[in-house]
Amino acid sequence: MKNKKADGWSRREFLGGLALTGAAAVVGWRPDLVTAAVEPPPETTRLRFHKGKPACWAPIYVAEPLLREEGFTDVQYVFGPQTEVGKMFSEGKFDLNVGFSAKTMYNLEHQPYPLKFLSGLHVGCYALIGSARTRSVRDLKGRTVWAGAIENDGPHLFFSTIVAYVGLDPRTDVNYVWVDKDEAIRLFRDGKIDAFMSFPPGAHELRHNGLGHLLIDTNVDKPWSQYFCCMVAGHSDFIRKNPIATRRALRAILKANDIVARDPETAARILIERKVIKESEYVHILPELKHIPYNMWRDYNPEDTIRFYALRMREIGTIKSNPQQFIDQHADWRFMNELKKEFGITW
Amino acid sequence: MKNWLPRLVAKAPFTVHTKLIGAFFTIAALLIIFGIVVIQVLSGINRRSEELSQLRRKVAAFRRLQHDTTAQLYSVTSALLSPEEQTLESSLRQLNEFRYDLDRLQFVTRDEVELFNKIRKEHEQLVQMIIKVVELTRGHEFTKANELRLTKTVPLADILERLTNEMVNRAEADMEAKVDESNRAYMTSRWVVIGFAVGSIGLAILLGYAVSSSLMGPVKLMDNQLRQIASGDFSKRVEVPNRDELGTLADNLNRMNNKLRDLYQQLDAASRHKSDFLANMSHELRTPLNAIIGYSEMLMEEAEDRDRKGSIPDLQKIRASGKHLLELINAILDISKIEAGKVELFPEAFNVKALIEEVSGTVQPLIEKNSNIIAINCDDDLGDMYADITKVRQILFNLLSNACKFTEHGTITLDAVHDYSERTSRLLVSVIDTGIGMTEEQMGKLFQPFSQADIQTARKFGGTGLGLAITRQFCEMMGGDIKVRSERGRGTAFTVRLPMAAPPPRADAISSATSGDSSKSV
């Protein structure tokens, strides 16, 4: 009840949501009335998302009014620290979740929980910022980097795959500092670390302050830009018991993806309203939301993302399972396949 | 035979031969199956190696395709930026080359066909678009050409690149899955082989144990039963579960046991009756004989007193015959008492040397009768002996009188020593004569009751044939034994060993004495 109270849908937000729906119509998206009319109502009207810090998850917040249109009257965003996601998922505290694909696979490998990947959300969003002493990723050999505050968390895993891709051993060739983001920025500014693995709004914030230069921008640099970063996943029990609700929720999220791509300003505002970011961060988040290619989700095959990251993580010994095991046990593309025609998915 | 498996094998209604052949065939079959399993495992490993090798080739080919795609797209993009006819021609030719690359690809599996066709389709679209861009470029419509390049060609190239990447990822993922499968299969195979080897060895051992136990168990039981029978115990039966030759053998053994028991009981009863009869008869005969001897002596005294000397020799003959008959009856009485188990020992302390001198004095007439001489050699430390003096005396008397009987004009030597070589000190008495001696065959039945060396000997020298049998039985009752060495025509030596302190009488000595077993003494 506390969460509902904290994250519930106030009248002000509801009106804001309706305005957003109107805006969506303005930017070109129109609800598929035919589909909505034919499809039966969802098995449940309650939907619980994991509420996380990353700003790139904007579509799940933007999707709220769309979810109401799909028949969900009780949409909850339940907060939980990243380290507790697996446990909370196992306890059934979330129905749907958005997360970095590699990190999710890592969690599934080391602390299995009933999760199924449903679709991709967006590519890119991570950026590797180098100091003046580094010109390329290979220059990081023997250097000190910040790749998140916790070992084997999203930034560290992404960074590991990036350095491994150029032939470095992420476990031995690089020195890490495990400090929080603010401390890392200070160290970077003081020249004590040579690279900074950033996620929104970190990269823009650093560069806005004239610190460092981009070594890797996963929004545009290949191969990273060719694979999803964040993916939508659901609790296995929820998916099994509520297939219509799952499909409707997924539809709303993917539509929200398009809205974020076309109206990043509104999306940024919603993030502030949902208290995902602070007002002061708007100036940094907006460019990031504009930069992340939210509109590209139709062109990327989510299964190939699982393959790609599973292969990379297996190469560096972070996981032992092979890609096909993840696909077989933790992927359910039924809903995406059902929505393919509706959305004009190309893959 | 407590275990159920040997019992089960034993109960199996097959011959021993069939069971053994069956066991060998089973072990051979296990070996063959084990060999087949190992071959299967090796075949699996080989097959997976080949599949892995094929996947590696596939990944390499797809990577080559991926590399070529990227290189050609880069080349085409560069050519469109600097539009020279020669460069444009070259770019178009390279694009066509890519078609041949696709055609040459041999590793596309059924599930990759869709993706492969998509690549082909995207490539065709890209080629068409590039041709349009080239045509616009050749027509010097650079703005339109550049716009078309940015809006159509570049996205198509991205898609193509992504699709080729996907192809590589799929192949690599397949390879990783195959590696895992291979590892799992190896682990499984290893445990299968180890399990099968352990199982086969265990089964072979179990089978060997079951078969050998089912065979050796009854054999041991029957051996034990035969020992019991040999010791005169017919009370037990051998029970085996076997339904083979050993079962039949056990049944026959039980039948034999029953037969022997019946015979033994009959023999025992007959022997008892004989002993009882002899004892009774001897007693009944001795009474009138004593009367005859007594009256003959009285008559002799009267004849001397009344000076009727002419009748004295006849009376002497009556008395001598009576005495001889009495001795004979006494001997029969002794042996029958022994056989009936009615003889008891009455040990007492006595001086051995004195006893030997007394007995040698007693036999002096017999020595002189055949013109023999006697030599007595006694150790100085013979000392006292604790035994039944009557029996020892009789033993010495029997041996000396025997030596006197079968020796003429010879020497009879009696050696007596105190033997300390064993734990119990013993008296060793040897009576050696230079008489007629015996053959091996004659020695074989020497100690049997009513038996002499041969019939001629009995006729010539007389006697009951009971003396040595009694002697041996007395020796054994006192915990000693008697041995004989002899050579035909050269003489005979009897050696008696008796403990200086008599032990309690041995039951088996009595029973063996009654059974007439002579093996111990010769």
User: Cβ of A300 and B162 within 8 Å?
Assistant: yes
Looking at the structure, tell me whether residues B426 and B330 fall in a common domain.
no
Top mean-pLDDT range of A173-177, A218-222, B230-234 = A173-177
Q: How far apart are CA B127 and CA B150, in angstroms?
A: 15
Secondary structure element (H or E) that encloses residue A77, with its range? strand A74-79
Residues in chain A: 347
Residue A14, pLDDT score = 40
Convert the pLDDT of each residue in A297-335 to its tens digit. 888 999 999 999 999 999 999 999 999 999 999 999 999
Looking at the structure, tell me whether residues A76 and A134 fall in a common domain.
no
Residue A37 has pLDDT above 60, yes or no: no
CA distance A97 to chain B (A): 25
Which of A278-292, B40-54, B300-314, B333-347 comes out lowest in average pLDDT? B333-347
Alpha helices in B82-112 (DSSP H): 85-104
CATH number of residue A104's parent domain: 3.40.190.10
Report how many domains make up chain B. 3
Which of B61-70, B424-433, B478-487 comes out lowest in average pLDDT? B61-70
DSSP state of A49: E
Convert the pLDDT of each residue in B102-150 to its tens digit. 777 766 677 778 888 888 888 888 888 888 888 888 888 888 888 888 8
CA distance B52 to chain A (A): 15
Give domain status of residue B282, yes or no.
yes
Give domain status of residue A222, yes or no.
no
* Mean per-residue pLDDT over chain B, rounded: 84
Looking at the structure, tell me whether residues B190 and B253 fall in a common domain.
no
User: Cβ of B162 and A299 within 8 Å?
Assistant: yes
Tokens of A286: 């907006």
Residue B522, pLDDT score = 25
Looking at the structure, tell me whether residues A165 and A236 fall in a common domain.
no
Provide the greatest CA pair distance for chain A.
61
Residue B113, pLDDT score = 82
Looking at the structure, tell me whether residues B332 and B347 fall in a common domain.
no
By CA distance, what is B172's nearest residue in A?
Answer: A311
Which of A1-10, A243-252, B278-287, B339-348 comes out lowest in average pLDDT? A1-10
Q: At A233, is the secondary structure helix, strand, or coil?
A: strand
Looking at the structure, tell me whether residues B348 and B332 fall in a common domain.
no
Give domain status of residue B455, yes or no.
yes
By CA distance, what is A224's nearest residue in B?
Answer: B162
Tokens of A51: 């509420």
Residue B58 has pLDDT above 90, yes or no: no
User: Cβ of B176 and A346 within 8 Å?
Assistant: no
Give domain status of residue B359, yes or no.
yes
Residue B497, pLDDT score = 94
Top mean-pLDDT range of A201-210, B67-76, B218-227 = B218-227
Alpha carbon distance, N-terminus to C-terminus of chain B:
42
B48-52: long-range pairs with CB below 8 Å, 24+:
B48/B178, B48/B181, B48/B182, B48/B185, B49/B182, B51/B178, B52/B175, B52/B178, B52/B179, B52/B182
Residue A13 has pLDDT above 60, yes or no: no
Question: Position B230: which residue type?
Answer: A
Q: How far apart are CA B412 and CA B416, in angstroms?
A: 13
The pLDDT-based confidence of A36 (bands split at 50, 70, 90) is low
Alpha helices in B82-153 (DSSP H): 85-104, 113-138, 142-148
Residue A128: which of A168, A97, A81 has the closest Cα? A168
By CA distance, what is B180's nearest residue in A?
Answer: A322
Residue range(s) defining the domain that contains residue B291 = 245-338
Looking at the structure, tell me whether residues B442 and B426 fall in a common domain.
yes
Give domain status of residue B415, yes or no.
yes
- Find the radius of gyration of the CA atoms of chain B: 57
Out of B305, B338, B371, a domain closes at B338
Looking at the structure, tell me whether residues A26 and A165 fall in a common domain.
no
Report how many domains make up chain A. 2
The pLDDT-based confidence of A55 (bands split at 50, 70, 90) is confident
Looking at the structure, tell me whether residues B170 and B277 fall in a common domain.
no
Tokens of B120: 């082909």
Tokens of B253: 């053994």
Looking at the structure, tell me whether residues B333 and B411 fall in a common domain.
no
Exposed/middle/buried for residue B438 (C-beta within 10 Å: 0-12, 13-18, 19+): buried
Residue B519, pLDDT score = 32
Looking at the structure, tell me whether residues A203 and A337 fall in a common domain.
no
Complex ipTM: 0.78
Residue A208, pLDDT score = 72
Strands A195-198, A144-146: pairing is parallel
Residue range(s) defining the domain that contains residue A316 = 2-122+227-343
What integer is the mean pLDDT of B480-495?
93
The pLDDT-based confidence of B1 (bands split at 50, 70, 90) is very low
Looking at the structure, tell me whether residues B9 and B155 fall in a common domain.
yes
Looking at the structure, tell me whether residues B192 and B329 fall in a common domain.
no
Looking at the structure, tell me whether residues A244 and A195 fall in a common domain.
no
Convert the pLDDT of each residue in A95-141 to its tens digit. 999 999 999 999 999 988 999 999 999 988 889 999 989 999 999 99
The pLDDT-based confidence of B511 (bands split at 50, 70, 90) is very low
Convert the pLDDT of each residue in A258-285 to its tens digit. 999 999 999 999 989 888 888 988 888 8
Looking at the structure, tell me whether residues B470 and B394 fall in a common domain.
yes
Q: Which of B169, B174, B179 sits opposite A304 (nearest CB)?
A: B169
